[in-house]
Amino acid sequence: MMASAAPVLGPVDPYLIPALDGVAYGLLLFVAASGLVFCFGVANILNLAHGTLYAIGAYTAAALLDGGWAMLLVALGVGVVASAGAGGLLAGLLAPVARRDHLTQALLTFGVALAGGSLLVTAFGPDSLPVRIPAALDGTVVLAGHRYAAYRLVFIGVAALLALLLYLAVARTRAGMLVRAAVDDADMVACLGVNPARIRLGVLTVAGALAGAAGVLGAPIIGPAPSTADNVLLLSLVVVVLGGLGSVRGTLLAALAVGEIQSLGVALAPTAAPFLLFAAMAVVLAVRARGLSGRWLRLRPRLGGTA
Amino acid sequence: MPFPTGTSRRRVLTAALLALGLTVAGSGCNSGSDPGGTPGTIKIGLLASLSGTYEAVGTEIRDGFELYLRTHDNKLGGHKIDLVVADEGNGAPTAVPAATKLLKQDRVHALTGIVGGGSVAAVAPVLAEAKIPFVGSNGRPELKDVARIWTTSYLSDETGAAIAEYVRDNVKGEVFTIGPNYQGGYDQLRGFTDTFKEIGGKLANEDGKTLWTPFPQTTNFLPYFAQIKASGAEAVYTFYAGGAAVDFVKQYAQSEIKDLPLYAAGFLTEGGVLNAQGEAARNIYSVLNYSPDLDNAENRSFVAAWKEDHDGSPTTYAMASYDAAAVLDKAIGAAGNNPTPEQINKAISELGQINSPRGTWQFSKDTHSPVQKWYLRQVRQDGRALSNTVVGDLATVGG
């Protein structure tokens, strides 16, 4: 079926789908990156194996999905549990170096990422894998005369719901309160008798679960392949740099911005595509060293310079 | 636990991000072989990516060569062969030490394989110094001195050149070209656009230049599809391989340009990527020098032997490596009883037609790459799976 010949919305028309897709892509990055934000903001762990946790979810989707709805739920459950387990394992590995600096953590987790990547390739092979989503989602829908993948449209709704739940969990629950307290003053939280090792385990498990959910649900968009972990880690780190730590809103804003830069930005200026994302990141860092949302530092005394 | 300030944590993050961008993970590890070797045995070195980004292609290249040895009594030209395999990794930084080890330590009589064009360019000086012939089966950059360099695959710009005329004759209107921004992509697309424009074809691209997408970070092609739609093109020509090919094809099939015919260099749907693309790849036209359903005796026995220990059909990568073994077989046989590397090289230059699963071909005297026929293929149902099916002959290109 051909789309209607006359553009419905005039000069904006060609950019409608890229703008919408930027939202889908941004929300995927939000779910993927929020776990990394938790790790770094709450447990102060720079987890370079975060992309691998996403990849575990994505490979789970490829292995289990068979085009039915039941298996989608099963895959989501298995993927979340598997990635959460891997996150817990990582917390165990990190325990001996808990008092060391970020470089040690980065080296350790990067090593785990390389080893995990090799294990995934050994288990699933070096090829990209197909992901069979339910047939009802495998088609396209027509929006204002444009064709768009049905799965991505549904994904926008599901990911927005996840974002809302995450926000409520952080803002309204006791665990969320602890999270916010740990971001604001970890030493004080430790003084109050909360075991840092337990925080580390809890945070890495939750981060793993979020990455696993992103991996299963995002597999039709950023699919399982040997390069998946690196891609997701890189984009997640950009989101964290732009969005700051400990604020769901900041992460959401940054993820949507990255999604739109990658989609709408590329459609507007395709020749600038190779450096668009990092140019935007450099500009944001130069103008606002604390990222798009500066609120995350609000309750903490300023010790360092403004850099 | 000393917690640094937020600002310094951000600095750590940014540094980590930069470091990650610069990190190239890869390692060259060698599979062992006994040193020396009995008299009459000839050592051949095979260098291919057995880890990293190109592992799938590297494995096909190793398996293609080993298949020829297995089906020929482990002999080339009457000599027992001691095949020494080494890992090329992701490119030149890992390929050069691995090649140096094969040439200096294992003292191979000839080298074969090599996935990346960049690796070939970096290894070429080492080969020239050691005066060892190289029968490459995939990557082939522009080189000044090809005295000891032979390629059984193709030159990168030949793929597009071979299909240009067919596209001009079969597309009523302008064609949009899009590809990845690395050397292989530039060569592949240039081959098409140069020939296509020369014979009167019109590109739909703005100012007539191919649209380049950042490689490897592009995983989302929808913004580019919006531009193709706006250009009013009647068809698309492209080249992608590996993961990018999977993303491109899957997203194309669900985009607003899904009804535009898609023509491509054969790598878009070659090998494992076709399985990952699934239904989305149906009906795509592509051009390649090989297809597993070619009807000739060489191909029938090649495909049958391949399927004995592989799930799918062989790819052009495996076929080119199988042919590299065939080239060495003929050349070593012609080079006498106890041939030196120089004699083997000379014998390669005197080879005539080579019977291959792709049909017969021969080396061009100038470029040392094949003069060969290219085929038009379409992704169609073949039993339970989709496969690249030959639907016609295209131009004979080479030299």
Write out pLDDT tens, residues B93-103.
999 999 999 99
Subunit contact A306:B275, Cβ cutoff 8 A = no
Produce one character per residue of B20-48: b if its CB has 16 or more CB atoms within 10 Å, e if not.
Answer: beeeeebebebeeeeeebeeeebbbbbbb
Determine the length of chain B.
Answer: 399
Measure the CA–CA gap between A104 and B16, rounded to whole angstroms.
12
pLDDT at B25: 38
A102 close contact with B: CB closer than 8 A = yes
DSSP letter string, A106-124: HHHHHHHHHHHHHHHHHHH
Our CA dihedral for B55, B276, B219, B137, rounded to 10 degrees, sits at 30
The rounded radius of gyration (Å) of the Cα atoms in chain A is 20
pLDDT at A194: 80
Measure the CA–CA gap between A175 and A156, rounded to whole angstroms.
27
The DSSP secondary-structure symbol of B103 reads I
Subunit contact A263:B278, Cβ cutoff 8 A = no
Measure the CA–CA gap between B240 and B189, rounded to whole angstroms.
10
pLDDT at B77: 94
CA of A229 vs chain B CAs: smallest distance (Å): 12
CA of A173 vs chain B CAs: smallest distance (Å): 25
Which parts of chain B register pLDDT below 70?
A: 1-39, 399
A107 close contact with B: CB closer than 8 A = no
Chosen for mutation from B17, B231, B277 (greatest number of chain A CBs closer than 10 Å) is: B17
Chain B residues touching residue A274 (CB < 8 angstroms):
181, 214
Mind listing the pLDDT tens digit for each residue in A19-68? 999 999 999 999 999 999 888 887 788 899 999 999 999 999 999 999 88
DSSP letter string, A148-176: EEHHHHHHHHHHHHHHHHHHHHHHHSHHH
Chain A residues touching residue B13 (CB < 8 angstroms):
40, 46, 237, 240-241
Chain A residues touching residue B221 (CB < 8 angstroms):
none
Q: What angle do CA A15, A21, A24 make, to 5 degrees?
A: 155
pLDDT at B34: 39
CA of B46 vs chain A CAs: smallest distance (Å): 20
Measure the CA–CA gap between A140 and A138, rounded to whole angstroms.
7
Mind listing the pLDDT tens digit for each residue in B282-330? 999 999 999 999 999 999 999 999 999 998 899 999 999 999 999 999 9
pLDDT at A170: 83
Nearest CB to B6 within list A190, A241, A297? A297
Task: Give pLDDT tens digits along chain A (307 positions).
Answer: 344 444 556 777 888 899 999 999 999 999 999 999 888 887 788 899 999 999 999 999 999 999 889 999 999 999 999 999 999 999 999 988 877 788 998 999 999 999 999 999 999 988 888 899 998 898 899 988 888 999 999 999 999 999 999 889 888 888 888 777 877 777 787 788 888 788 889 989 999 999 999 999 999 999 898 889 999 999 999 998 888 876 788 899 999 999 999 999 988 888 888 888 888 888 888 887 665 554 443 434 444 333 3
CA of A195 vs chain B CAs: smallest distance (Å): 12
Q: Which domains does chain B have, with CATH numbers?
A: 42-154+296-368 (3.40.50.2300), 158-288+376-397 (3.40.50.2300)
Residue pair B87/B105 in contact (Cβ under 8 Å)? The answer is no
pLDDT at A5: 45
pLDDT at A290: 62
Measure the CA–CA gap between B46 and B119, rounded to whole angstroms.
13
Subunit contact A127:B273, Cβ cutoff 8 A = yes
Nearest to B159 by CA among B197, B200, B195, B188: B188
The type of residue at A229 is A
pLDDT at A6: 47
CA of A204 vs chain B CAs: smallest distance (Å): 18
Nearest CB to A106 within list B1, B10, B16? B16
A135 close contact with B: CB closer than 8 A = no
Residue A136 CA neighbour count, 13 Å, CB half:
4
List phi, psi (to 5°) of B119: -65, -45
Tokens standing for residue B261: 């015919």
C-beta atoms surrounding B394 within 10 Å: 20
First-residue to last-residue Cα distance in chain B: 68
Is residue A293 exposed (0-12), middle (13-18) or buried (19+ Cβ within 10 Å)?
Answer: buried
Is residue A114 exposed (0-12), middle (13-18) or buried (19+ Cβ within 10 Å)?
Answer: middle
pTM over 0.80: yes
Is residue B5 exposed (0-12), middle (13-18) or buried (19+ Cβ within 10 Å)?
Answer: middle
Nearest CB to B3 within list A14, A187, A296? A187
A10 close contact with B: CB closer than 8 A = no
Predicted complex ipTM: 0.81
Chain A residues touching residue B20 (CB < 8 angstroms):
48, 230, 233-234, 237
pLDDT at A292: 59
A305 close contact with B: CB closer than 8 A = yes
CA of B225 vs chain A CAs: smallest distance (Å): 9
Determine the length of chain A.
Answer: 307
Measure the CA–CA gap between B123 and B106, rounded to whole angstroms.
16
Nearest CB to B224 within list A127, A270, A297? A270
Measure the CA–CA gap between B150 and B120, rounded to whole angstroms.
11
Residue A117 CA neighbour count, 13 Å, CB half:
24
A14 close contact with B: CB closer than 8 A = yes
Measure the CA–CA gap between B123 and A129, rounded to whole angstroms.
33
Q: What angle do CA A148, A153, A159 make, to 5 degrees?
A: 150
Helix axes A50-64, A16-42, angle to 10 degrees: 120
Is residue B232 exposed (0-12), middle (13-18) or buried (19+ Cβ within 10 Å)?
Answer: exposed
Give the Å distances, CA to CA, from B167 to A8, A23, B163, B228, B302. Answer: 32, 36, 6, 17, 31
A48 close contact with B: CB closer than 8 A = yes
